[in-house]
Structure 1
Amino acid sequence: MQALQQALRHYLLAVQFFTRIPVTGRLAAWVGYSPAMLRASGAHFPGVGVLVALAACASYGVLALALAYSPWASAVAAVGGTIATVLLTGGFHEDGLADMADGLGGSADAARALDIMKDSRIGAYGSMALVLALLAKCLLLALLGAHSLGAALAALAGGQVLSRFWPLFIIRSLPHVGDSARSKSKPLADQISAAALAAAGLWCIPALGLVWQAQGALFLIVTVLCSAFAAWRVQRLCARRLQGFTGDCLGAAQQVGEIGFYLGAALALGLAQQVA
């Protein structure tokens, strides 16, 4: 029972840290906080994705069904589902993607790139990355919805959860190179244990199982591979250009991994039609 309560505290801390869901007052006091707890909450990042997926799927599904009379239904639903994720998370990961793009685009020098990433102002590279990322999400989700509502919902469910699993591999494989004194991600960077990684993987199993049941093995395999490859490319870019990672890199990995999942879903549907 005590272990279950501790796991719940860690999960609620992850929800408090990565979403706008209020964990305040007595609940926040019960949850508590310490750098060690924040580190342990890493095991529940995909669990935060479950909440985001529920909000996105609900928004997408309601809009798609309500506007079923219109050929634009899937496009409007894609925008609505994306808005739901941004509202729930506060654009936390999107901000990381923009900052990383500004840093790496603004300078080839690692130290200078890190300085640029600390700047709260968004530059040209960050703006382009943010616009293209949101555009890619909306267009891919609209494309999937035009095929079937089930395909779009399956992609949302799997993509939101699995994309929050990949940043843990970056934490485990690279050193933290950000400003340790100000970085919110520094406690996470100290250590992600194999047990925490396994627990995070367990969060992914139900979502991916639903994807398999709803769309089949080909859909699942292609989406996972595309998402993993996209996140791996972010990891390699951070290793080569920064010799490590910052919290912005983790946000970028989540965003790219999410888009990779949606792209994989679209490719899987195309492959399935060719085979048929």
Structure 2
Amino acid sequence: MSNSDTWIPKWGDIPAAIGLLSRLPICVDMHKAQARGAHPSWAYGLAGALFGALAALAGWAGLVMGLPSLATGLLVVGTTAWITGAMHHDGLADSLDGLWGGWSLEQRLDIMKDSHIGVYGVVGLICVIGLQATLYGHLAAQSLWPILGVMALSRAIMVPIMAALPNARSQGLSASVGRPTRKTAILAVALGGTIAVFSGAWPALIGAPLGGLAVAAIAKRKIGGQTGDILGASQQCAETCALIGLAALL
């Protein structure tokens, strides 16, 4: 990242954030995006809102076809996984395997880097995907709009974790992106929170931070910082806890 570059938002940060967090065919100036480092992370919430809009369309299709609520919820979760290349689900599985399958810092990081999935990852994915699908199906029957807020805020939550925790390893996606400034983190959460409120997902303001904070605290204790996998796990936990908050309070 150039020393002359600043954290101040730029329009090019939005496609950069979408390109990093998804597989959508969007044109990104890679040279400028790499030069910006972690600065584009302020737009993670905006990217999440886009993913939420596309997932909500899938949920709407399920409702139009008269599918059971669980099937509708699975359409929402499956669409999101397809859009993002399931990168956050992969991070959750790797984090569960590494954090609970290793006995030392080195072991945990090695396991998280391994592409194979273990029993912790399998059980964790089944529980999280099942819970998300059930709650999304229940939510879609009431309103599709909160889906945008949940997906926006759960991705914005990754930014303060990136800013607060050091990189646990010197290589990998998180290390290559870098650490955002405090101002970038504040803007990211503010945008994600605003989208959550205006979409009707205000209970996510309680659940999402709790989910992300829990993952960050465990990662800090077990590996001394964050990795790309930890950020993916924090997004998934934030999303799940946000949905639990909506189910409990709406």
> How high is the TM-score relative to the length of structure 2?
0.90
What does residue 223 of structure 1 align with? Answer: 204
> Do 2:22 and 2:83's aligned partners in 1 also have CA atoms closer than 8 Å?
yes
Residue 247 of structure 1: aligned partner: 228
Does 116-125 or 198-207 show the bigger shift? 198-207
Query: Does the CA contact (< 8 Å) of 1:170 and 1:250 recur in 2?
Result: yes
* 1:211 equivalent in alignment to 2:199: yes
Q: Distance in 1 between matches of 2:226 and 2:175?
A: 10
Measured in 2, the distance between the counterparts of 1:259 and 1:126 equals 16
Q: For each residue in 1:188-218, what CA deviation from the matched residue of structure 2 results, as whole angstroms up to 9, or x when unmatched?
A: 33x3112212331343254223234xxxxxx
Alignment-mate amino acid for residue 174 of structure 2? S
Indicate whether 1:149 and 2:149 are aligned: no
Q: Aligned AA for 1:155? A: P
The match for 1:194 is 182
Kindly indicate whether residue 78 of structure 2 is the aligned counterpart of residue 83 of structure 1: yes
The amino acid across from 1:121 in the alignment is H
Gaps of 5+ in 2: 1-5
Between Structure 1 and Structure 2, which shows a larger proportion of helix residues?
1
Alpha-carbon shift at residue 247 of structure 1 (Å): 0.7
SS of equivalent to 1:20: coil
Partner of 2:3: none
In the alignment, which residue of structure 2 is the partner of 1:169? 160
Instruction: Give the partner amino acid of 1:149.
Output: Q
Query: Percent sequence identity over matched residues?
Result: 25
Q: Computing the radius of gyration over CA atoms, which structure comes out larger, 1 or 2?
A: 1
CA distance in 1, matches of 2:30, 2:190: 22
1:20 aligned partner: 23
Q: Are the equivalent residues in 2 in contact too, given 1:46–1:204 (CA < 8 A)? A: yes
* Pairs aligned (count): 243
1:41-99: CA deviation from partner (whole Å, max 9, x where unpaired): 111111110111111111101211231xx6x2x22211111111011000010000000
SS of 1:130's partner is: helix
After superposition, what is the alpha-carbon deviation per residue over 1:106-140, rounded to whole angstroms, capped at 9, x for unaligned? 11311110010000111111111111111110111
1:202-253 Cα distance to aligned partner (Å, 9 max, x none):
43254223234xxxxxx62x33212211111101101111111111000000
Most deviating of 109-118 and 153-162: 153-162
| Aligned counterparts of 1:174 and 1:206: Cα–Cα separation in 2 | 24
Q: CA RMSD in A?
A: 2.0
1:66 to 1:99, Cα distance in 2 relative to 1, 3 A: same
Q: Which runs of 5+ in 1 are unaligned?
A: 213-218, 270-276
d(CA) in 2 for partners of 1:198, 1:163: 14
The answer to whether 1:7 aligns with 2:10 is: yes
Mapped to 2, the partners of 1:209 and 1:34 lie a distance apart of 29
TM-score normalised by the chain length of structure 1:
0.82
1:32 aligns with 2:31: yes
How far apart are the structure 1 equivalents of 2:48 and 2:85?
A: 14
1:140-175 per-residue CA deviation (whole Å, 9 max, x = no partner) reads: 122334xx431xx24312210000111112111111
SS in 2 for 1:175: coil
Identify if the C-alpha distance between structure 1 residues 103 and 89 changes in structure 2 by more than 3 Å, giving closer, same or farther.
same
Q: Which residue of 2 aligns with 1:273?
A: none
User: Which residue of structure 1 lines up, in the alignment, with residue 88 of structure 2?
Assistant: 93
8 A Cα contact 1:9 1:31, kept in partner: no
Match of 2:248 among 257, 260, 267: 267
Residues 231 and 202 of structure 1: is their aligned pair in 2 closer, same or farther, counting only changes over 3 Å?
closer
Report the equivalent of 1:119. 114
Q: Following the alignment from structure 2 to structure 1, what is the Cα–Cα distance between the partners of residues 173 and 32?
A: 13
Cα offset, 1:35, TM superposition: 3.8
Distance 2:215 2:109 in 1: 16
**What residue number does 2:40 align with?**
41
